[in-house]
Structure 1
Amino acid sequence: MPFAKSGGIDIFYERMGSGPRLLFISGTGGDLRNRPNVLDGPFPKSFDMLAYDQRGLGRTSKPDTPYSMAEYAEDAVGLMSAIGWGSALVIGVSFGGMVAQELAINHPHVVEGLVLACTSPGGAGGASYPLHTLLHMSREERARHMIPISDTRHDAGWAKAYPETYETLVAMAAADPYTDEPGHEMGQRRQLEARAAHDTWDRLGEIRCPTLICAGKYDGIALPETQEKMASRIKGAELRFFEGGHLFMLQDREALPAMTRFLKGEDAN
């Protein structure tokens, strides 16, 4: 299995496809063992794609120390260096978008182009939903709490009208086959603690690479108005809304092709 040393930890990664180099930074709780995942989607058909488990998650090391967003960015640039990449296109999704912001700000020379999906800058620009406040809940309780927030169309009326679909979403959101692994819950908690402190708002103007901000129209986690604020702060940033909530990349078939066209410099229209 491929591991790279970076920042004193072992980072598990997978690489697939061919074309321009693309680093994919995953969201909260991301674990490449959960399939299908982004490597099973269309990106490897257009890019030499690198995806990895972030510190505290999956098969990557789980040190029981405080994590920071800057540290996550250092992990990313260290991984790139370890496999011989000096720069790459970058997609950051949700929590991964927060890491990608830090990466583009702190290491502008390594980010050729940037897609920020369903994420937030924190600070005065607006934070994503405070997931760290739900740690006292069971996984099922969290799932039921978050479904109408993740997609604001999925309210109580919708759940009553589509009970089977609702229960399927609950089961999917609550599932975690690795919950008994040593360090699993600690690593997830450390990630949420770092997420709670995320704030790039006053530094977003330092992002200089071409940037596309993508979001779901019905996302209650990374709010639409927050996307507009973020786009106004990054010079030349494009902003696109898609049909869906926090999972718009799965809900709107136009989302992934639009990201691909942007990263390849093709006309998005």
Structure 2
Amino acid sequence: MPTAAVNGLSIYFERAGAGEPLLFISGTGGDLRNKPNQFDGPFPKAFDMISYDQRGLGRSDKPDVPYSMADYADDAAALMASQGWARANVVGVSFGGMVAQELVLRHPGRVRRLVLACTSPGGAGGASFPFHEIEHLKGEARAKYLTPISDTRRDMAWAKANPEAYAKAIVLAAADPFADEPGHAQGAHRQLEARAGHDTWDRLGQIKAPTLVAGGRYDGIAPPQTLERLASQIPGAELRFFEGGHLFMIQDRTATPAMIEFLRR
């Protein structure tokens, strides 16, 4: 099992592909055992890609101590160093986009080009959906609550008109096959604690790496207006919207190729 010693922790990672280095940082609750995932898409066909289970998640260590966004960023930088990468392209999705912001701010020399997908700056720029406020919701109840937020087109009228599609969406969103593992709940809780404190707004002007901000037109978790503010605060950032909600990278098949084109410039 590929692991790296990172800041006193054992971090599980996977690596695939060839070409320019790409670090892919996944979102809230990300676990590489859940399939399909980023390794089943176009990125490892275009890059030498590393992705990993962040502290508290998946097969990485789950210390029951407070985590900070700086910790997550430093983990990413240390993982790159452990694999001999001085510099890489970086894609951060949702929570991973928050980590990527801290990474490029704390370790600017590590990031060649940056994609921030369906994420937020926090602070005065606007926060992402407050998942820490619904931590008590589990399984189907959580899925039913989040489905119309994740994609604002999937409201109650849509659910009534498309009962089979709605039922399938709820089953998929409710699945948590590793919920009973030791440390799973506490690691997820520690991530949500750190996420609630995310705020890079006043520092975004320091970003020098060419940046693409991307999102879905119907995302209620990282709304379009939040992405607009995020892009406006990063010097020279490009902003693109795609047909989808928070899962726009799956819903709109032009999204990932557009990111790859940006990263290859």
Q: TM-score, normalised by structure 1?
A: 0.98
Q: Secondary structure at the match of 2:34?
A: coil
Deviations along 1:210-233, one digit per CA (max 9) or x if unpaired, are 000000000000010011111110
Q: Secondary structure at the match of 2:164?
A: helix
Q: Secondary structure at the match of 2:89?
A: strand
2:135 aligned residue: 135
Deviations along 1:98-119, one digit per CA (max 9) or x if unpaired, are 0000000010000000000000
2:91 aligned residue: 91
2:251 aligned residue: 251
Q: Secondary structure at the match of 1:29?
A: coil
- Shift of residue 135 of structure 1? 1.1
Deviations along 1:162-209, one digit per CA (max 9) or x if unpaired, are 011111111111101111100001101110110000000000011110
2:17 aligned residue: 17
Deviations along 1:107-160, one digit per CA (max 9) or x if unpaired, are 000000000000000000000000011111122111100000000000000000
2:235 aligned residue: 235
Q: State the AA in 2 paired with 1:130.
A: P
2:199 aligned residue: 199
Q: Secondary structure at the match of 1:166?
A: helix
Deviations along 1:17-47, one digit per CA (max 9) or x if unpaired, are 0010000000000000111100011111110
1:103 aligned residue: 103
Q: State the AA in 1 paired with 2:165.
A: T
Q: State the AA in 2 paired with 1:52.
A: Y
Q: State the AA in 2 paired with 1:99.
A: V
Find out whether 1:225 has 2:225 as its counterpart.
yes
Unaligned runs of 5+ in 1: none
Q: Distance in 1 between matches of 2:210 and 2:107?
A: 14
Unaligned runs of 5+ in 2: none
Runs of 4 or more consecutive aligned structure 1 residues displaced over 2 Å after TM superposition = none
Please give the residue correspondences for 1:119-158 in structure 2 after superposition, counting only pairs within 5 Å. 119-158=119-158
Deviations along 1:41-89, one digit per CA (max 9) or x if unpaired, are 1111110000000000000000000010000000000000111111100
Q: State the AA in 2 paired with 1:44.
A: P
1:8 aligned residue: 8
1:208 aligned residue: 208
Query: Over aligned residues, Cα RMSD in angstroms?
Result: 0.5
2:74 aligned residue: 74
Q: State the AA in 2 paired with 1:64.
A: D
Q: Secondary structure at the match of 1:219?
A: coil
Q: Secondary structure at the match of 2:186?
A: helix
1:26 aligned residue: 26
Q: Secondary structure at the match of 2:29?
A: coil
1:159 aligned residue: 159
Q: Distance in 2 between matches of 1:215 and 1:175?
A: 24
Q: Distance in 2 between matches of 1:72 and 1:156?
A: 37
Q: Distance in 2 between matches of 1:142 and 1:133?
A: 11
Q: Secondary structure at the match of 1:86?
A: coil
Q: TM-score, normalised by structure 2?
A: 0.99
Q: State the AA in 1 paired with 2:69.
A: M
Percent pairwise identity: 66
1:44 aligned residue: 44
Q: State the AA in 1 paired with 2:54.
A: Q
Q: Distance in 1 between matches of 2:139 and 2:28?
A: 14
2:58 aligned residue: 58
